[in-house]
Amino acid sequence: MAVQGSEAPPSHGIQKWVPGIAMLKSYKPAWLRLDLVAGIVLAAILVPQGLAYAELAGVPAVTGLYTTVACLVAYAIMGASRVLVLGPDSSVSPLIYAAIIPLAAGGDPATIIALAGMLALMVGLIEIGLGVGKLGFIADLLSKEVQAGYMNGLAITIIVGQLPKLFGFSTDADGFFEDLWAFFTSLDLTNTATLLVGLATLAVMLILPRVTKKIPAVLVAVGGATIVSAALNLAENYDVNTVGVLPSGFPVPSFPLVDLGDIPVLFAAALGIVLVSLADTIATSTSFAARRGDEVDPNQEMIGVGSANIAAGLFQGFAISVSSSRTAVAEQSGAKSQVTGLVGAGVVLALLVFFPSFLKDLPQTALAAVVIAASFSLADLGVLRTYWRVRKTSLILSLVATIGVVLFGVLQGILVAVVLAVVLFFRRSWWPPGEVLGHDGEAGWHSLKRFPDGAEVPGVLVFRCEAPLFFANAGIFRQQVRQLVRQRKPRWLVLQCEAITDIDVTAADMLKALDLELNAQGIHIAFVELRGRLHDLILRYGLHETLDAEHFYDSIPLALEAIAAEDRDGRQGGQERGGADAPVTAAPPPSDG
């Protein structure tokens, strides 16, 4: 994100590639107090969410804190945004779980950590490669419908997966319906104290934000659960599972070693994580930048996020993403720069090094409540009503993404939805919409389907193609024209070309053959509002040997006037020869709409 204004002068040389240097050079002493306060507030959220999302990813809880520290420091150095907060994320963690758990035979923690670390390195390298190659647009491959559907499906699967922990027992199942069945058949194992703590934590997290957003709900909920757990000694007296004492210290950087046979599976998962993460990253950075009057550079953001992922992978962490909720907390707390992230990382590091037993009484059910609350924020059922109202195919696509995630898993669900999105895209291009136009006085020319009272010019068929003409739809276009010609028997076909953005070689050959075919039936083709670039392309294709170079017009009224004049000249010539061709009468010149 390139920042505008006096606070961030243009970066040159190493500062362009390491934005943290430019940030420090332009740092104002007056910001320090605000960044310190914001960093401490942020740390209070980073700890419980780091622990919760680590377990959601299938890795030891403490690795969530390693990940948090490593990615915040790396992004402060390599990231361009002043306030963006990165870390373990509820939308990425299930993807990590789906990728590494099947590969970790026996559930060995060391193997799981290595697989998660390698996955993070792959994600980081892909993101940096996309950023250096200026391929930020790759984030657009995941459409809004797919994103919404994926998030809805993800929310459902996460909630179902966390219910046993919320109720105080565990299940051994694989798949959504198996998890659901295992949960209901194990309800007799419910630990009442665990369930009450979990429900109370969840209630605070859902209700408090409706009362005030100034106090972080996760801090109040998790802090309250920890205090109650310690005061009542829930672990010993009521058999409530707690986090326990964390391993002391911080790991040294190391390269995660995995079997070569696992690389293809991890790489496929990395691509899915990149798609999901980048879409969220660009959306979040854009929205926060707009509020601060900054400008987003998607490529630099990818480099920064990629660097943070590599750092996480080298410090026994896992893949991360941008967090809109944590970014909002940092901004609301007065954050001015990435020093906020450094302060937050410092607090988490101090907890690991000096106070590893600080969270030993934190109930596991409270972490489940944190994850479930995050899942509620992921879901957006209201958007389905919007899709139903504005575009049914978007609703279908979103529902397919949801069902795909629920039935087949998060990675496969994304793949199913993306494939369907591509198919629908090609379907729209392969079967281009076309409209017969009529005029309505001063209102101009419009589709007769929408305005059936529109008038047509006798002997003239005005047809609008609403897609580029290329190899896949050239035959369909020709069929559409042939059918209309058989039905209406015009003497002139006027093609309104405003929406045609390209004509490839196959489509050019089709137009040539179509023109010859129609000429044999006494029908002429005229082109209206064809882009100058495409007109030059037609010249290079040599189509003017067939298509009359004079039959290209800037508007439908100009085309009709020329057609009427040409028919008058033809009729007069025919009368002089003793014939009488039927004339085409031009419509009253409507406005060029």
Tokens of 109: 């923690």
The answer to whether the CB of 114 falls within 8 A of the CB of 258 is yes
Note the maximum CA span of the chain: 113
The answer to whether the CB of 263 falls within 8 A of the CB of 131 is no
184 Cβ contact partners less than 8 Å away, ≥ 6 residues apart: none
Give the H/E segment covering residue 263.
helix 263-292
The CA–CA distances, whole Å, from 519 to 161, 212, 280, 510 equal 67, 74, 54, 14
Distance from CA of residue 49 to its chain's centroid?
23
Cut 0.85: pTM above it = no
Name the one residue in this structure whose structure tokens are 């979103």.
398
Interatomic CA distance for residues 149 and 508, integer angstroms: 39
Tokens of 251: 């790991």
548 Cβ contact partners less than 8 Å away, ≥ 6 residues apart: 524
Q: Is 441 exposed, middle or buried, given 0-12, 13-18 or 19+ CB atoms closer than 10 A?
A: exposed
Per-residue confidence of the chain (593 residues) as pLDDT tens digits?
Answer: 433 333 444 455 566 678 888 788 888 899 999 899 889 988 988 999 999 999 999 999 999 999 999 999 999 999 878 888 999 988 899 999 999 989 987 778 999 999 999 999 999 999 999 988 887 666 666 677 887 888 888 889 889 989 999 999 988 877 788 889 999 999 999 999 999 999 999 999 999 988 987 787 888 999 999 999 999 999 999 999 999 898 999 999 999 999 999 999 999 999 989 988 877 777 677 667 666 666 667 788 889 999 999 999 999 999 999 887 788 778 877 888 889 999 999 999 999 999 999 889 999 999 999 989 888 887 888 889 999 998 888 898 889 889 988 888 777 777 787 787 777 777 776 777 788 998 876 668 888 888 888 888 899 999 998 888 988 889 989 999 999 999 999 999 999 998 898 999 999 999 999 999 999 999 999 999 998 888 888 888 887 777 777 889 999 999 999 988 887 766 555 445 444 444 444 444 333 33
Interatomic CA distance for residues 289 and 398, integer angstroms: 28
- What's the DSSP call for residue 58? T
